Amino acid sequence: MLTVMMLMLIAAYPAAEAKAAEASQLVSKGNTTEKVIALTFDDGDDGGNIAALLQILSDNGVKATFFLTGKAVESHPQKIKDIIAKGHAIGNHTYSHPYFTQITAEQMKAEVEKADALIRNLTGLTTKPYFRPPYGAYNAGVLQAMGEAGYTKTVTWTIDTIDWEGRSAAEMTQKVLGNAVPGAIILMHAGSGAVNTPAALPGIISGLKTAGYRFVTIPELLGFSTNSVQYVVKAGDTLYRIARLYGVTVQQIAAANNIANINLIYTGQVLQIPGTGGTTPPVTPTTPTTPSAEIKCTVKAGDTLYRIAKLYGVTVQQLAAANKIANINLIFVGQVLTIPGTGGTVTPVTPVTPTTPAVTKYTVKAGDTLYKISLVYKVTVQQLVTSNKIVNPNLIFVGQVLIIP
């Protein structure tokens, strides 16, 4: 009798402790009064317009969100990689694009899990927590199943261009511009069936910019302050280096950007820096009191405004203001910067070359880059490359022993 009672208690315990996952939140518009807007593109197994769309977005400095199917990954994997490499956000649009209101919860979960696995294996990124239902078809059962699958946001749209019907560029542009509101989500398609979407996109972008709108991705619209700090990944960057630069953890950056593999980021990828609130840059040196005369600094490979500011004892904000820089994460090799308030006499501190030891060696650890090592030892990346006969400065290995010149 005692054994039976114990078995009953054991059987009942998980049921009592289990907590049902919350249903996915349905989102058709961002909850904001700011004039921000999100362009989204659904990609099936065609992807015929992707190259053209990426070029237009790049030309206009706009980041969008692509909802990807598993079939898309199988059909055109390089185009999917191109989407990621350009810094666009992604979401899950299922594996084979069925009507979710006509299949079981288990089938729904299998669809998104298969798609996410394919995308994650190809790019290192997960699509969670953003899901878009095929045909926009959903009900309470769909939202519950997606919540249980880890997709906390089911994203539909505010404005449907109906581009898949072959609508004219003028018609689509007018529909978007005539219905734009703060936080709007615009639906378009990446397949060649949306024949006029590439023709319509430039006019849509320019019209919205003229109306005072700023473009954001779905993660920015739903998960962050629209004023949050963005960082553009440069050659040699690692999440560890970026995290240290902004005083956050690698895990925080990975979570904020849906990064499944913390060792896989791309040059040009745009990262959201969590907890910065759009106003806090990396730790800033005390503002110098030396007066107004100015000197010049030419940007070199690996430079950041933060590094230059620290070198000259000024703030990032002072550099940005003096050089009319809108995006503090975007400077160019060869760019000549005015250093404000340096009195014309202050030069960067030059480290004293040690006389001993004659040869210093360093063993590469996880997360290291030549740039990071060069900063620690106050040498240049080129000196490290030359001293160690390194062919590719972006390729070093854990355990590799480097000579520090």
- CB proximity list for 197: less than 8 A, separation 6 or greater: 49, 53, 161, 163, 172, 188, 189
Handedness of CA 311, 316, 321, 323 (dihedral sign): positive
Q: What's the average model confidence in pLDDT over 339-356?
A: 48
Is the model's pLDDT at 270 over the cut of 60? Answer: yes
Q: Hey, which bits of 172-253 come out as E strands?
A: 184-189, 214-215, 230-232
Domains, the chain, ordered by start: 25-222 (3.20.20.370), 227-272 (3.10.350.10), 281-349 (3.10.350.10), 360-404 (3.10.350.10)
| Helices within 96-196 (DSSP H only) | 105-123, 140-148, 169-179
Reduce the DSSP state of residue 186 to 3 states and report it: strand
Dihedral sign, CA of 122, 126, 132, 134?
positive
> Six-digit token pair at 195?
């024949």
Question: Which of 17-21, 23-27, 114-118, 190-194 has the least mean pLDDT?
Answer: 17-21
- Reported in sequence order, the residue ranges of 190-282 that DSSP labels E, i.e. its strands, are 214-215, 230-232, 270-272
pLDDT of residue 258: 67
Q: Is the pLDDT of residue 173 over 80?
A: yes
Calpha distance 132→104 (Å, rounded): 17
Q: Which helix (H) or strand (E) holds 223?
A: helix 218-223
Q: Is 160 a catalytic residue?
A: no
Nearest to 195 by CA among 169, 158, 159: 169
pTM given for the model: 0.56
Q: Which residue in 93, 189, 237, 303 is the catalytic one?
A: 189
Instruction: With a cut of 50, say whether residue 182 has pLDDT above it.
Output: yes
pLDDT of residue 230: 67
Structure tokens at 240: 């560890």
pLDDT attached to residue 39: 98
Active site residue 88: no
**Phi and psi angles of residue 43, each rounded to the nearest 5 degrees, phi first:** -120, 115
Cβ-Cβ contacts under 8 Å for 41 (sequence gap 6 or more): 53, 64, 65, 66, 67, 188, 189, 190
Over residues 101-110, the mean pLDDT reads: 97
* pLDDT at residue 18 in the model: 43
The predicted-structure confidence for 70-100, as pLDDT tens digits, reads as follows 999 999 999 999 999 999 999 999 999 999 9
Closest by CA position to 187, among listed 79, 42, 90 = 42
pLDDT of residue 209: 96
Give the CA dihedral 153, 29, 81, 397, nearest 10 degrees: -60
Q: Check pLDDT > 70 for residue 275.
A: no
pLDDT of residue 160: 96
Which range has the worst mean pLDDT, 4-18, 32-46, 328-342, 391-405? 4-18
Of 88, 107, 106, give the one whose Cα is nearest residue 97: 107
Of all residues in the chain, the percent with pLDDT exceeding 90 is 47
Mean of pLDDT over the chain: 82
Least Cα distance to 305 among 292, 321, 294 occurs for: 321
The catalytically annotated residue of 42, 116, 237, 303 is: 42
- Contact criterion met (CB below 8 Å) for 64 and 221: no
Confidence of residue 309 (pLDDT cuts 50, 70, 90): confident
Q: Give the separation between CA 79 and CA 40, rounded to whole angstroms.
A: 16
Asked if residue 341 has pLDDT above 90, the reply is: no
Mean pLDDT on 234-260: 82
Phi-psi region of 328 (alpha: psi -120 to 50; beta: other; left: phi over 0): alpha
